[in-house]
Structure 1
């Protein structure tokens, strides 16, 4: 299941980086130095963690700045899902689960619902949830978490260090291979000191980036539940492990809906971390076979909140009586994250796509300008970067610290990367889908690569083999996205490439995506604003052959070296230079055709919800919005809601 996260609001990213500042490590403002019971050296003891030690919220914070601490509790928020689901276990290769399946679980260092940011107004900061404090040496060779004794699973049993160790090991033994292999190398030992104290040891000779937050954000599952049920993490299933979070599963009808309800006995409801959050009594997911049916159900009031992704519908579809009468609100809300790097991904294991000239030619078949004006109402901007709009975005030719780093990598760096501007998408004719100028460039590239056109218009190599590509596509996608991809395929076929546009149902799509059974795929990577071990899972060579987070199968020594440089950075300036170089290298490798992005959140909802000013890193409708009882009753009295 592809996560759709955020887009860029440049000003807030820049403001955050200016606030953080570049250069040497900032003071450990929120931490205190204390003698360690575990070692002779002085250690840092803190209520939260960031790699450089700077924390926005002090130990005595009462709530996050962006929430309404007095938000009323109650009501329901309901959303839709388009496609098929057959599991409540997102950690198995088999089956397809929704984000609702992880809402019940918490971690030592807290997050927002389904892994979203909390706090959502700062980047790279973590605060204790199941853990009330953590301790680590300046070397970050290990970390100890001191857990809250009052923490309870929804069945009333305590959450202990034994559960944390069990969960950590369960992910290693039965979780995704790329994750498990990476974590085993970095975290060789975990020690339960007592029922509420746990220590993780980190391997020598590796970067300390992301290790503490890695172990601190593992979901806490009940060891007792797994032992009693005999369930496995690597198997598809509908039953869910006991969690400690604010919501529990009320009902699951995998073909129709999933309902979560507030746990009235939730142990953490009064923590500063949670104040002003988790405001709805129920969260409901309605499941539909296609997006047209889902939108009609929204208009009829079958569910109440919609995050819109279709530009045509956003521009024209919301002119219906309920919006005209103010019963449905249509809003554009700010988004401070860099946009998700979504695009047409090349499977680099495909022999014909290993020639970069072929990839460049195929990329020229995409006409953003015509697509945006003719199908997307001019609402989008073209994405170029994996960190679009952030201070990490590579622009122009490399200079300063970035140039010094790239030069130090010697022959790993292609000479033209040192002198040319970062790769940007081509510009096409907005008035004609098939841009003949770009087509001529593409045809020359294909000719140079040895794929020449025969009398039948099909390109073949010297052995007579036709240039064929399979484009795997999810049939549940909306009509506009489908039309965009069909037009791209049409353009590629006019270049003499035999492209099969294969639309399959969501279950087949998920299975074949995991098996890398495609040449082209509409998919996404994850944007980044800081160094982390997740970079190796997404872009690194070691796990490239099987990582579910690297659909192109990218394996580049240059990319590996830049990831290592980012992970080994000792200052923000060094980290910024390495990540800027990484963005430049990823674009140079051309692992996907970058498409478009929307700098705002498009949302529509029945006028019974309220929200604070939206923070940069989380829209938060399932997290810190709230329900207005009077408005809801007025909607029901008017017959607007079912």
Structure 2
């Protein structure tokens, strides 16, 4: 999952110690760090003062308040998006059945559910709801509400992401007023845990409207905030619930400390930076290193009114890269994909644009040592290969050394060598240079487009476009509104797209949506490339059904190696540090956790030392 949380053996061992087989928390193949009597997570300040307002920024616009449907763009802060699954912990409105901790590899603790029990045959899981749980309208959270939320998200009126993610759940069954059971179609090593990520909302939301017609009505949910003010496309503010039922719950203590959280929308990044400098924003995470070095200066920085934090991390970053739409015939040839990647000169970019602060992405599970493919195939991996029904296809596709992104060493000779190799690959694939352009046998020129939501990525892509031009390939950058880019990607109407795949410390069911054949034709899925390969499908099954961490790691390495040999993605880079500018009176616990998503931590654990 974007969080495989527990081996079956560990859960059964934990349950065996309880007459009801119910546990308060679970760890991934280990006993969870926090016992039943824990009062708060170690990385929060349980005495953090409440109050004050936090103003952050967002780019583009938004046009709906329902984050679970496919069409439209929801505002930042809800914790979920229709084009991807985001943990509820980083959202303000929706609580989930359980929540994970940030200082363990992956552990899960009760939130809406006060305990959880896996059936002995591992074909169902039962949650008991906390009797204190309340919706924002004051009504109690009951098992009927949980079933309604699940059934709604699994319907055709919600994003297909959820149907893929929970595809092995047969049904949700109301056992009692506050007891809900999820029955499974088959054994799935992580399914009983990812069901715990279910967000719960009230049946009263939308007053009976079909779910995909709920657009502008504020959600009636269970989380710490409610929507206060909305100016569609421009701003949204959330107000802390004074009656938040979980404020003193151990898994929520010391979190969500601001009385109000608001987001101001900007059309370009410069607008966000200027707003920070003039006091309009309280904090801003910067992704552009050149901007961080050159533009984050001035009197407010010199005086300490605005502080600059550079925080090193080893966060699992996944495969950030440029994906090619395989639904187009020209990208189906692996030689073409290899050639396009050879024109991407990371070394030059890192030296001249990134000030040496970026690292090259080399894996779909970057920074996860036991999941990343290694040069040599392990004994466990070989055993998996021998068990593949599609073994011959695997062996035919995976030949030679483990592919690594090309490195030019920041020299003209290195780039020239790579472009010569790219030219040879393109020629083999039937593309030749004539009449001023690279053309196929039918005389059609090789021209591509890539949509960008703002100009921050322009310097990087412009360098790649220049190198492609030396091969006779035209790359045009199209500046478009983010909502239009999303619509085009949902409809698979694009040539290239910057995307992030993987990134989980423990992959699982989300791989069906990211890489599975069934999602390749499902509009709105995360499978932007359109990957459809029986080998990948079979390895995903091995990952999802792994009985322990060692088996999961071996299968993940096998998948990583196979994907790298297919060159589906042009690997880009990842940041080795977080760059955070914040007002001096905005505090956070020390030290910062190395794997935390910093944008989320503003909402989770930070506070004003003197609430305004």
The normalised TM-score by structure 2 is 0.91
Structure 1 residue 507 and structure 2 residue 483: aligned? yes
Q: Map 1:153-168 onto structure 2 (within 5 A).
A: 153-168=135-150
The whole-number CA distance in structure 2 between the counterparts of 1:248 and 1:603 is 26
Q: Which residue of the partner structure matches residue 257 of structure 2?
A: 279
The whole-number CA distance in structure 2 between the counterparts of 1:498 and 1:236 is 42
Q: Map 1:492-571 onto structure 2 (within 5 A).
A: 492-546=468-522, 548-571=525-548
Structure 1 residue 253 and structure 2 residue 231: aligned? yes
Larger mean Cα displacement after TM superposition, 605-614 or 351-360: 605-614
The whole-number CA distance in structure 1 between the counterparts of 2:385 and 2:311 is 38
The whole-number CA distance in structure 2 between the counterparts of 1:542 and 1:617 is 32
Q: Any stretches of 5+ residues in structure 1 without a counterpart? A: 7-15, 37-43, 634-642
Q: Which residue of the partner structure matches residue 179 of structure 1?
A: 162
Contact 2:164 2:513 in 1 (8 A): no
Q: Which residue of the partner structure matches residue 33 of structure 2?
A: 56
Q: Which residue of the partner structure matches residue 343 of structure 1?
A: 321
| Structure 1 residue 24 displacement after superposition | 10
Q: Which residue of the partner structure matches residue 437 of structure 1?
A: 417
The whole-number CA distance in structure 2 between the counterparts of 1:33 and 1:412 is 46
| Structure 1 residue 400 displacement after superposition | 2.4
Secondary structure (helix, strand or coil) at the match of 2:271 reads helix
The whole-number CA distance in structure 1 between the counterparts of 2:295 and 2:414 is 28
Change (3 A) 1:59 1:251: same
RMSD over aligned Cα, in angstroms? 2.7
The whole-number CA distance in structure 2 between the counterparts of 1:257 and 1:444 is 51
Measured against aligned partners, the alpha-carbon deviations of 1:314-339 in whole angstroms (never above 9, x if no partner) come to: 11211211111111110112434211
Measured against aligned partners, the alpha-carbon deviations of 1:139-183 in whole angstroms (never above 9, x if no partner) come to: 321011111112111111111111100000111112123532563
Structure 1 residue 402 and structure 2 residue 378: aligned? no
Change (3 A) 1:91 1:460: same
Q: Map 1:9-158 onto structure 2 (within 5 A).
A: 25-26=9-10, 30-34=14-18, 44-50=21-27, 52=29, 54-102=31-79, 111-113=89-91, 118-158=100-140
Change (3 A) 1:182 1:497: same
Secondary structure (helix, strand or coil) at the match of 1:369 reads helix
Q: Which residue of the partner structure matches residue 549 of structure 2?
A: 572
Measured against aligned partners, the alpha-carbon deviations of 1:402-445 in whole angstroms (never above 9, x if no partner) come to: 23322433213235736x44221001252449922111101000
Larger mean Cα displacement after TM superposition, 137-146 or 157-166: 137-146
Contact 2:225 2:240 in 1 (8 A): yes
Q: Which residue of the partner structure matches residue 622 of structure 1?
A: 603
Q: Which residue of the partner structure matches residue 230 of structure 1?
A: 208
Change (3 A) 1:572 1:511: same
Contact 2:58 2:76 in 1 (8 A): no
Contact 2:49 2:607 in 1 (8 A): yes
Measured against aligned partners, the alpha-carbon deviations of 1:50-74 in whole angstroms (never above 9, x if no partner) come to: 4646322111111111111111112
Secondary structure (helix, strand or coil) at the match of 2:182 reads strand
The whole-number CA distance in structure 1 between the counterparts of 2:112 and 2:49 is 24
Secondary structure (helix, strand or coil) at the match of 2:478 reads strand
| Structure 1 residue 450 displacement after superposition | 0.7
| Structure 1 residue 458 displacement after superposition | 1.4
The whole-number CA distance in structure 2 between the counterparts of 1:181 and 1:528 is 17
Q: Any stretches of 5+ residues in structure 2 without a counterpart? A: none
Contact 1:133 1:147 in 2 (8 A): yes
| Structure 1 residue 219 displacement after superposition | 1.0
Change (3 A) 1:235 1:359: farther
Contact 1:459 1:466 in 2 (8 A): yes
Measured against aligned partners, the alpha-carbon deviations of 1:109-153 in whole angstroms (never above 9, x if no partner) come to: 974436997311123321111111112224321011111112111
Contact 2:100 2:106 in 1 (8 A): no
1:607 corresponds to which of 553, 571, 584: 584
Secondary structure (helix, strand or coil) at the match of 2:56 reads strand
Secondary structure (helix, strand or coil) at the match of 1:342 reads strand
Structure 1 residue 465 and structure 2 residue 444: aligned? yes
Q: Which residue of the partner structure matches residue 592 of structure 1?
A: 569
Change (3 A) 1:434 1:347: farther
Secondary structure (helix, strand or coil) at the match of 2:228 reads strand
Q: Which residue of the partner structure matches residue 199 of structure 1?
A: 181
| Structure 1 residue 364 displacement after superposition | 1.1
Q: Which residue of the partner structure matches residue 406 of structure 2?
A: 426
| Structure 1 residue 507 displacement after superposition | 2.1
Q: Which residue of the partner structure matches residue 216 of structure 1?
A: 196
2:393 corresponds to which of 412, 422, 430: 412
Contact 1:540 1:559 in 2 (8 A): yes
The whole-number CA distance in structure 2 between the counterparts of 1:489 and 1:349 is 22
Q: Which residue of the partner structure matches residue 386 of structure 1?
A: 364
| Structure 1 residue 80 displacement after superposition | 0.7
Contact 2:205 2:217 in 1 (8 A): no
Change (3 A) 1:561 1:337: same
Secondary structure (helix, strand or coil) at the match of 1:241 reads coil
Q: Which residue of the partner structure matches residue 450 of structure 1?
A: 430
Change (3 A) 1:232 1:337: farther
Change (3 A) 1:433 1:99: farther
Q: Which residue of the partner structure matches residue 9 of structure 1?
A: none
Measured against aligned partners, the alpha-carbon deviations of 1:172-211 in whole angstroms (never above 9, x if no partner) come to: 112123532563x41122211222111110013xx42331
Measured against aligned partners, the alpha-carbon deviations of 1:241-268 in whole angstroms (never above 9, x if no partner) come to: 2111111111111233211111001111
The whole-number CA distance in structure 1 between the counterparts of 2:257 and 2:104 is 22
Secondary structure (helix, strand or coil) at the match of 1:414 reads helix
Measured against aligned partners, the alpha-carbon deviations of 1:69-105 in whole angstroms (never above 9, x if no partner) come to: 111112122211121222222222221113313489x
The whole-number CA distance in structure 2 between the counterparts of 1:162 and 1:49 is 25
Q: Which residue of the partner structure matches residue 315 of structure 1?
A: 293
Kindly tell me the number of residue pairs found equivalent between the two proteins: 594
Change (3 A) 1:476 1:236: farther
Measured against aligned partners, the alpha-carbon deviations of 1:18-58 in whole angstroms (never above 9, x if no partner) come to: xx9xx99558675444556xxxxxxx310123464632211
The whole-number CA distance in structure 2 between the counterparts of 1:47 and 1:282 is 31
